[in-house]
Amino acid sequence: MKRSVMCLALLAMVAVWPRTSAADEIDPQALYKKAVKSCVFIVTPMKGGMGMGSGSLIDVEKRIVLTNYHVVDDRDIVFVQFPMYQKNGEMITDKEAYFANVPANKAIKGKVLHRDKSRDLAFVQVEKIPPGTDALPLAHRSIGVGAAVWNIGSPGDVKHVFSVTEGKVRGVGTQKLDFGDQIVNAMIVTTTNPVNQGDSGGPLIDKRGYQVAVTQSILLKAQLVSHFVDITEVHAFLSAKKIYIKDLAGASAEKPMSKEVPKVSTPLVVKPDPPVVVPMPKKEIAPAAADPAKELEATELLRRSKLFSMGEDNLPIYKAKLQDIIKKYPATEAAKEAKKIVDGLK
């Protein structure tokens, strides 16, 4: 019955859906080629290995890169790499070439200036930027529901860096996301973009090439539901740290940015079906069978642990994170998968 009602609703939407004019046509390839030059691949040194994530250059003069808190974690120094190009102008996308730059001292060092765990944001100041590199313009306000968006990042399970996915905005609003080791409480953009580990920290851009959000996470128990930290949180974080960057979007294109720090309202307590976000109990008690909330928590931790699945140096960290999932969530499917992986590593 629900499916029939949904189909009728969709048909009604199609009947009144506005047609796209020639002026609204977008060239995704041109959009990507322009934006990717401002994107970065981040390697974070960890005990016994390296983590990885993505980011974007938001100011040339101050050499500031924007990324997630969970990409840099508590580290003070990370390695930042912009796209490399061959003599013929083609971009080098082999991830191993970028990893090789770190021990060879060819990667750019970045100092973590500020981090906000609740917003899951961090600012990194790099030592230098390639000549001719531009910053990504930051949109002044939140993007609208239904808008086309693209995110650029470097998924861990993909051999190539700086890949891109396309999607639509599902919704924009304050949310509380509980990842067990981190609670994110911020304005969140939810989209249909397929996001993977390694994409975290990368930019979500609109059809103008403006950054409208920062890649944060994906809900694995739902279809095409990804979370991004809204651009208003970035502006609030910049204002809170008294960092003033060049406005590339232009006041004529949008409303001027407010100098005041936007207030994030207390998120509404919602009980979706099935539940998406449920706070972890203070004491984890292993039940006879995992409930949906714990399955979601364990699945998200498993997704994050796979950031460390590449490279022999990462194996101790990878194995420790998997064993932690097995211990805390023994009755979950994620724990079963983690155990299979651990057994395969022996």
CATH at residue 119 = 2.40.10.10
Tell whether 90 is covered by a domain: yes
Tell whether 12 is covered by a domain: no
* Number of domains observed in the structure of the chain: 2
Q: What's the confidence (pLDDT) of residue 20?
A: 43
Look at residues 68, 99, 126 and tell me which one is the last residue of a structural domain.
126
Q: What's the confidence (pLDDT) of residue 346?
A: 61
Q: What's the confidence (pLDDT) of residue 308?
A: 73
Residue labelled with tokens 């304005």: 187
> How many C-beta atoms surround the C-beta of residue 195 within 10 A?
27
Of 4-18, 156-170, 231-245, 246-260, minimum mean pLDDT range: 4-18
CA 209 – CA 29 distance, rounded (Å): 12
Q: What's the confidence (pLDDT) of residue 45?
A: 84
Q: What's the confidence (pLDDT) of residue 197?
A: 83
Look at residues 96, 126, 156 and tell me which one is the last residue of a structural domain.
126
Q: What's the confidence (pLDDT) of residue 280?
A: 30
Burial class (CB in 10 A: 0-12, 13-18, 19+), 67: buried
Percent of the chain with pLDDT over 90: 49
Look at residues 107, 126, 145 and tell me which one is the last residue of a structural domain.
126
pLDDT digits (tens, 9 = 90+) for 300-315: 788 777 777 766 667 7
Beta-ladder partners of 213: 204, 230
The phi, psi pair for 319, rounded to 5°, reads -65, -40
C-beta of residue 140 within 8 angstroms of C-beta of residue 257 = yes
Instruction: Please give the average per-residue pLDDT across 67-72, as a whole number.
Output: 94
pLDDT band at 2 (very low <50, low <70, confident <90, very high): very low
Q: What's the confidence (pLDDT) of residue 292?
A: 66
pLDDT band at 161 (very low <50, low <70, confident <90, very high): very high
Contacts of residue 111, Cβ cutoff 8 Å, sequence gap at least 6:
76, 77, 124, 125
Instruction: Please give the average per-residue pLDDT across 295-299, as a whole number.
Output: 76
For residue 120, the enclosing domain spans: 30-126
Q: What's the confidence (pLDDT) of residue 43?
A: 92
pLDDT band at 222 (very low <50, low <70, confident <90, very high): confident
The larger pLDDT score, comparing residue 281 to residue 167, is at: 167
pLDDT digits (tens, 9 = 90+) for 35-69: 999 999 999 887 767 888 999 999 999 999 999 99
Burial class (CB in 10 A: 0-12, 13-18, 19+), 186: buried
> Residue 204 corresponds to which amino acid?
L
- Record the pTM: 0.68
Q: Tokens standing for 286?
A: 């292993």
314-327: string of b/e by CB count within 10 Å (b at 16+)?
Answer: beebbbebbeebbe
Of 53-57, 122-126, 301-305, 327-331, minimum mean pLDDT range: 301-305
Q: What's the confidence (pLDDT) of residue 165?
A: 93
Q: What's the confidence (pLDDT) of residue 59?
A: 96
CA 47 – CA 68 distance, rounded (Å): 19
The larger pLDDT score, comparing residue 296 to residue 183, is at: 183
Q: What is the mean pLDDT of the chain?
A: 80
Of 13-17, 159-163, 290-294, 321-325, minimum mean pLDDT range: 13-17
Tell whether 296 is covered by a domain: yes
Q: What's the confidence (pLDDT) of residue 329?
A: 86
Tell whether 259 is covered by a domain: no
The larger pLDDT score, comparing residue 46 to residue 168, is at: 168
pLDDT band at 294 (very low <50, low <70, confident <90, very high): confident
Instruction: Please give the average per-residue pLDDT across 125-130, as a whole number.
Output: 96
Q: What's the confidence (pLDDT) of residue 50?
A: 80
| Nearest in space to 343 (alpha carbons), one of 326, 328, 292 | 326
Residue labelled with tokens 């994530």: 53
Q: Tell me: pLDDT of 286 over 80.
A: no
Q: Tell me: pLDDT of 194 over 70.
A: yes
Q: Tell me: pLDDT of 275 over 50.
A: no
Q: What's the confidence (pLDDT) of residue 256?
A: 38
Tell whether 147 is covered by a domain: no
CA 66 – CA 71 distance, rounded (Å): 11
Tell whether 83 is covered by a domain: yes
Tell whether 8 is covered by a domain: no
Beta-ladder partners of 167: 149
Burial class (CB in 10 A: 0-12, 13-18, 19+), 25: exposed
Q: What's the confidence (pLDDT) of residue 251?
A: 55
